Amino acid sequence: MNGSWAVVTGASSGLGVEFAERLAADGANVLLVARRADLLEAVAERVRSHFGVLAETHPADLTDPAQRAALVTRMAELDVSHLVNNAGFGTMGAFAEIEPERMSQEMELNMVALTELTRAVVPGMVARGSGAIIQVASTAAFQPIPTMAVYAATKAYVKRLGVALWEELRETGVRVVVICPGPTETEFFATAGDDAVMRRRRTPAQVVETTMRALAAHRPLVVDGLPNAAMALATRLAPVALQARLARVVAST
């Protein structure tokens, strides 16, 4: 059995489950992180029996600095070959009406936790001359989005950070890829409070396949799905006020 580990955050549902299964199928042991311990254990059980790898659960709320520190301590005891920074959520609605505490948690999880976990694994990966970091951003990263203003801003951060690290680590043997999914069939929209929006969705399997191909090709960033990629490219060409106005229309359809 391989001694290396893939750490997957947000591994209790959606994209995280798919990433964990894919990396386990490729032979990595998996450390599964999220809050819902029962769901993590079910994923771990499936992964052990299907792929014959080790699977450990690490229930944690990554908005809590102490719980993040405990995860970093556990990660330091493992040979981490892959880090998938996938845990995240989005708030939707008028900026002035979103609970301030929920917004802070969104920033803490989507940006601070992702950055701290990345910082924790990079030195070991550089020392070994290998490793892979998958940063889950979003097509929301490409433009300001009224009614999802904080979420889009956190994902723009993930995109910028990830691509900067791709370049910084390019000659160390450590690969970094930023994946920008568009609407995908997970619990994301229910958590955000509006499961009715954006009906045309991709599957987690498609997103993970897109990611793994981009990682293998050493690409810094990939948008999942051709229509999403075309939209992201077109967005970049528009003036910023138009970007925001169009995003508002799309977010409300």
Ligand X SMILES: NC(=O)c1ccc[n+]([C@@H]2O[C@H](COP(=O)([O-])OP(=O)(O)OC[C@H]3O[C@@H](n4cnc5c(N)ncnc54)[C@H](OP(=O)(O)O)[C@@H]3O)[C@@H](O)[C@H]2O)c1
Enumerate binding residues for ligand X (CB under 6 A): 10-16, 34-36, 39, 61-63, 86-90, 109, 136, 138, 181, 183-184, 186-188, 191
Q: What minimum distance in Å lies between the beta carbon of 35 and ligand X?
A: 3
Catalytic residue list contains 155:
yes
d(CA 28, CA 244): 41
Please answer whether residues 9 and 18 qualify as being in contact, where contact means their C-beta atoms are separated by less than 8 angstroms. Answer: no
When the beta carbons of 108 and 125 are compared against ligand X, the nearer one is: 108
Min dist. Cβ of residue 20 to ligand X (A): 10
Nearer of residues 130 and 152 to ligand X, judged by Cβ? 152
Compute the least distance from the CB of residue 118 to ligand X, in Å. 14
In angstroms, what is the minimal distance from the CB of 173 to ligand X? 26
Nearer to ligand X, 172 or 206 (CB): 206
Active-site residue (options: 5, 151, 188, 189): 151
Structure-token match 């680590």, residue found: 169
Specify the residue, 81 or 138, whose C-beta has the smaller distance to ligand X.
138
Biggest CA-to-CA distance, the chain: 54
Query: At closest approach, how far in Å is the CB of 107 from ligand X?
Result: 12
CB nearer to ligand X: give 34 or 120. Answer: 34
What burial letters (b/e) apply to 149-168, b meaning 16+ CB within 10 Å? bbbbbbbbbbbebbbebbee
Report how far apart, in Å, the C-alpha atoms of 147 and of each of 126, 183, 193, 199 are.
Answer: 40, 16, 12, 18
Selecting among 155, 159, 175, 202, the annotated active-site residue is 155
Q: Is 151 a catalytic residue?
A: yes
Q: Do the Cβ atoms of 58 and 71 come closer than 8 Å?
A: yes
- The residues assigned a catalytic role are 151, 155
